[in-house]
């Protein structure tokens, strides 16, 4: 099961699935190996592979997928977990804004390149890790950000846009795969105490963080709590597809994602902006 962005919240999954084969897709091999050691200390039966993946580089995404396609015969679960929030404004080597490429365009290409392996499993699941922030962005803002990468509109808008894009992608990919064994869902983990806030001053500043600490202990989920909805979407016998999970239950996403036409047109727009890296031959 490839997981993009290794993260200790996922250990719970490994403990439950003794003997699972897991691929940790990490931009830092060192962190990946630390995670592997930790997993093996909890579960000697797991087979854990650490592979390099940098979502900010489409060539890295394709290389990672090529390796998996050579080394594995099927995938049960693909978890598009890696993401950045409040990342300093910047452009990737492929010319896209960092947050949009990391959180959406990279996972878009990666998922398509792994579809063959997913289809080869008897049952397969794609879980896209999104955020409630997707509700704060309009479709016009999302389209503008997708078309005009150079025009920075603020950290919250770019983060929300990347997550709205992933929610729309979830719906459209689920529709395209409806007659296959692959189900696709979005998961909002909720507000979780992780390293995601490393660039967000009110939380990355130790003094400001200390002032909020007691409130955060009460209202913010621990990583173990935060990964429960992700695990639920991976393990539930319910084979609903194209949906949105929050707090281990099906929930409503932004009404924008309920519009099939918007999901289809945004998927087409994504293909257009990615036309130099991704051809329609790779489409499902």
Q: What residues are labeled active site?
A: 159
Among 2, 3, 5, 243, binds ligand NAP (CB under 6 A): 5
Residue nearest to ligand NAP (CB): 83
**Is 82 a residue that touches ligand NAP (CB under 6 A)?**
yes
Question: Helices 155-176 and 139-147 meet at what angle, rounded to 10?
Answer: 100
| Residue number, 6 or 257, with CB nearest to ligand NAP | 6
Nearer to ligand NAP (CB atom), residue 43 or residue 60:
60
Contact positions with ligand NAP (CB under 6 A) in 12-71: 27-28, 31, 53-56
Query: Cβ 220 to ligand NAP, closest distance in Å?
Result: 7
Nearer to ligand NAP, 28 or 59 (CB): 28
Options 81, 99, 149, 253; binder of ligand NAP; rule CB under 6 A = 81
The contact pattern for ligand NAP, residues 95-134, with x = CB under 6 A and - = no contact, is -------x--------------------------x-x---
Cβ atoms within 10 Å of 8's Cβ, excluding its own = 14
Q: Which residue has the tokens 């039966």?
A: 45
φ/ψ region of 125 (left if φ > 0, alpha if ψ in -120 to 50, else beta) reads: beta
Beta strands across the sheet bearing 182-188: 47-52, 21-26, 2-4, 77-80, 124-129, 182-188, 244-246, 249-251
- In terms of C-beta distances under 8 Å and separation of at least 24 residues, what long-range contacts does 215-223 make, across chains too? 219/191, 220/191, 220/192, 220/193, 221/189, 221/190, 221/191, 221/192, 221/193, 222/192, 222/193, 223/7, 223/8, 223/9, 223/192, 223/193, 223/194
Stretch that binds ligand NAP, among 15-23, 78-86, 149-157, 273-281 (CB under 6 A): 78-86
Q: Which of residues 173-192 bind ligand NAP (CB under 6 A)?
A: 189, 191-192
Min dist. Cβ of residue 106 to ligand NAP (A): 7
Least distance to ligand NAP, CB of residue 261, Å: 27
Residues recorded for the chain: 284
Residues ≥6 apart with Cβ < 8 Å to 250: 238, 240, 243, 244
Applying CB under 6 A, which residues contact ligand NAP?
A: 4-7, 27-28, 31, 53-56, 81-85, 102, 129, 131, 189, 191-192, 194-196
């Amino acid at each position: 099961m490839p997981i993009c962005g290794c993260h200790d919240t996922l250990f719970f999954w490994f403990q439950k699935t003794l003997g699972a084969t897991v691929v940790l897709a990490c931009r830092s091999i060192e962190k990946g190996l630390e995670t592997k050691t930790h997993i093996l200390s909890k579960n000697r039966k797991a087979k854990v592979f650490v592979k390099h993946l940098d979502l900010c580089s489409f060539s890295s995404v394709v290389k990672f997928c090529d390796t998996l396609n050579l080394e594995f015969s099927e995938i049960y679960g693909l978890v598009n977990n890696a993401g950045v929030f409040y990342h300093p404004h910047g452009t990737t080597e492929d010319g896209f804004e960092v947050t949009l490429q990391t959180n959406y365009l990279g996972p878009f290409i990666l998922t398509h390149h792994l579809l063959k392996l997913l289809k080869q499993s008897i049952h397969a699941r794609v879980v896209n890790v999104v955020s409630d922030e997707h509700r704060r962005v309009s479709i016009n803002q999302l389209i503008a950000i997708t078309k005009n990468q150079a025009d920075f509109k603020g950290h919250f808008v770019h983060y929300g846009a990347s997550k709205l894009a992933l929610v729309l992608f979830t719906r459209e990919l689920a529709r395209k795969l409806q007659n296959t064994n692959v189900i696709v869902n979005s998961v909002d983990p909720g507000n979780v105490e992780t390293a995601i806030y490393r660039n967000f001053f009110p939380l990355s500043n130790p003094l400001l963080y200390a002032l909020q600490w007691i409130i955060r202990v009460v209202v913010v989920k621990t990583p173990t709590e935060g990964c429960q909805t992700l695990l639920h979407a991976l393990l539930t016998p319910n084979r609903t597809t194209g949906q949105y999970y929050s707090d281990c239950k099906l929930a409503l996403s932004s009404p924008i994602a309920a519009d099939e036409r918007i999901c289809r047109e945004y998927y087409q727009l994504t293909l257009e902006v990615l036309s130099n890296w991704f051809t329609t031959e790779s489409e499902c």
